[in-house]
Structure 1
Amino acid sequence: MTAAGVGDLALHVDGSEPVSPATVEAVLRVCDRAEDGYVTGLLTVHASGAPQPGWAGDVSVGLTTKWERAVRRMERLNLVTVAVATGDCGGTALDLLLAADIRIAVTGARLVVPLSGDATWPGMALYRMARQAGTAWLRRAALLGTPIDAETAVAAGLIGEVVDRPEQTLAGIAAASAAVSGKEAAIRRQLLLDAGEHSFEEALGSHLAACDRTLRRAVAP
């Protein structure tokens, strides 16, 4: 996994490599840069690769906990995140893909829940997939490790679109995000996430507070 320098906020993740301290550190380093120097703009995650048999041999619960916390931190950054899936996308690549706000798949991409021993890996990718797509779409993938092709992932709501070349799509997203405040984007994201859990009455207060904040900012000198 590699992280780009300041001025080009991007993360390249190879899901064929098992999670490691270096993998965790790469995500945390990008999060540090995003929080220190980026108010608007994008974090682009280039995700590809899926684990091979025996990949979990050196993985511990402690390391997995650190990894899940790092992914969660990225998921809550004060800027828009976009992920591009290429080829088979599993393991750490799938985790970061599902944590991104906007997801693009290159033609031929597949989402792969990796196998570990005699069953699929029960990480938080299963949680995010179920929350975002519902369990009916995912039973074969979650229970048997059956890959999800890009078109099925779009129909399930896990991927936004499938493209042959992502560069033009990324440029359009970057242009749109340039005028968006990172903190405001994070508030909108949380409202979306809360909608799946809260009733209208429970959600109303948060939405009204966000509306009030927006109106106050509009008239601020």
Structure 2
Amino acid sequence: MNAPQSLRRLTATVVMQSLLWLWLIGLSVFVAQGYQAMNDQADQQRLEAQVVGLAETIDALQQRPAAATVAGLQDTRQALEARIAQVEQALGSHAAADDLQALRAEVEQLKTLQTSAPAAAPAQPRIKRKPAARPEPPPLPFRVIGAELRAGLRSVSVAPSAGNITPDQIQVLLPGDEVGPWRLQAIEGSTAVFQAGSHTRRVAIP
């Protein structure tokens, strides 16, 4: 008697598991269909918004004054036709035929407006303005005659740019020191960098 009871229990278990799997599969199909319907609705709303945007663009263009040039209207019309073609392709089975037909009728009105628009006025030649000449930097009132270390800091020695040099004419400059309008900014290897306002001079150190 145990064998029939075990067989019935096994059969009941198999049936319950089958029903559970069928319920799960049905639930999955229902959820997938709902998700697909939501996506289709969102796509439809987005594409309808694009159609409305195209219609508003055309209305705004038609309300512009008649001074629009032929070239400008032609470019606008070509751009709108390209956008309408993209919307038609994207809509596919959801295409709103009446809306698209109305858009095409408005594009035809743009063509009519284009033929009646005045020809574009000849472009005025641009006058090239010469850039303002930058002011020449002030001349260096000195010459660099050497470099040395003082208290562990590099410095440069300068003397008047002309004439013979006497010991009392030699100045030792550290970065930050000034001679006339020129300030010693840095010593880079064998080069001393001086600056006066926006002008920079690099002087070789002999």
TM-score, with structure 1 as normaliser:
0.23
Higher relative contact order (CA 8 A, sep 6+): 1
Q: Which has the larger radius of gyration?
A: 2
After TM superposition, the score normalised by the length of structure 2 is 0.25
